[in-house]
């Protein structure tokens, strides 16, 4: 049974979880990535030799650039995960500093007539951390924020059946969080990946639901799709810096 255009618009508007939420969640951690100013020191001539020699050094950040976010996942993969995406090339999330953070998302509702409809959403965000003598190396900062972002996912409001597992083959450090959310009268299946490669953090979420009598996607389908896309996103970081 077909639904009206207003009904489809309402489903898309209610079901979407903007990738900008991730951007807003991490932007404060990304600020101040440049070298911190020296504070509390007198003129250079008054500093003792021992004080000058004790200046802290940190490991250089491994990656200097981020990939083009909407191209970090292949068109073939996004088409298979979100068959009827409203914007096939993805929708870029606003960023005030594209060298440090960026995001892109795809979402769409595939109408299968009497068989119901399938909704899918995919989003990916990147955060790059520079090395800073007062904050630590880029790698250390990415590790710290990995832990913070994982905790946020595990505490998602309204989430049910939350499970955290490894995400093999995704970056140097990664976790996968699967859960369910009830929205627009349907049960949505979610799979979110938090991955770190060097000084870059990658956050990816894939979710879906069935409408008008269509069955919800299986946990495996959603998790496999999220892992596949996350592997491509992580690989894109290295390619952008090669």
Query: What per-residue confidence (pLDDT) applies to 185?
Result: 86
Residue 49 has pLDDT above 80, yes or no: no
Query: What per-residue confidence (pLDDT) applies to 137?
Result: 97
Instruction: Determine which of 54-63, 105-114, 125-134, 190-199 has the lowest per-residue pLDDT on average.
Output: 54-63
Question: How does DSSP classify residue 45?
Answer: G
pLDDT digits (tens, 9 = 90+) for 157-212: 999 999 999 999 999 999 999 999 999 889 999 999 999 999 999 999 999 999 99
> Any idea where the domains of the chain sit in the sequence?
5-31+56-240
Could you say which architecture CATH assigns to the domain 5-31+56-240?
3-Layer(aba) Sandwich (3.40)
The values of phi and psi at residue 3, to 5°, are -105, 160
pTM assigned to the model: 0.79
Query: What per-residue confidence (pLDDT) applies to 113?
Result: 85
Which stretches of the chain are assigned E, i.e. beta strand?
91-93, 101-111, 117-128, 160-166, 173-183, 186-197, 200-211
Residue 35 has pLDDT above 50, yes or no: no
Nearest to 227 by CA among 186, 195, 180, 187: 195
């Amino acid at each position: 049974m077909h639904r009206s255009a207003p009904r489809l618009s309402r489903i898309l508007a209610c079901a979407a979880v903007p990738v900008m939420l991730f951007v807003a969640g991490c932007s404060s951690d990304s600020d101040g990535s440049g070298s911190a100013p020296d504070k509390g020191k007198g003129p250079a001539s008054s500093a003792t030799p021992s004080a000058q020699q004790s200046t802290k050094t940190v490991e250089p950040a491994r990656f200097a650039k981020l990939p083009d976010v909407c191209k970090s996942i292949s068109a073939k993969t996004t088409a298979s995960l979100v068959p009827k995406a409203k914007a096939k090339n993805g929708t870029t999330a606003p960023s005030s500093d594209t060298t440090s953070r960026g995001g892109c998302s795809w979402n769409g509702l595939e109408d299968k007539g009497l068989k119901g409809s399938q909704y899918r959403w995919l989003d990916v965000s990147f955060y790059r951390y520079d090395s800073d003598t007062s904050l630590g190396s880029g790698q250390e900062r990415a590790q710290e924020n990995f832990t913070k972002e994982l905790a946020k996912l595990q505490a998602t409001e309204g989430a049910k059946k939350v499970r955290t597992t490894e995400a093999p083959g995704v970056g140097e450090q990664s976790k996968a969080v699967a859960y369910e959310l009830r929205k627009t009268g349907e049960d949505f299946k979610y799979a979110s990946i938090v991955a770190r490669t060097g000084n870059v953090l990658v956050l990816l979420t894939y979710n879906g639901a069935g409408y008008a009598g269509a069955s919800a996607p299986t946990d495996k389908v959603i998790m496999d799709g999220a892992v596949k896309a996350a592997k491509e996103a992580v690989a894109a970081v290295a390619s952008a810096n090669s």
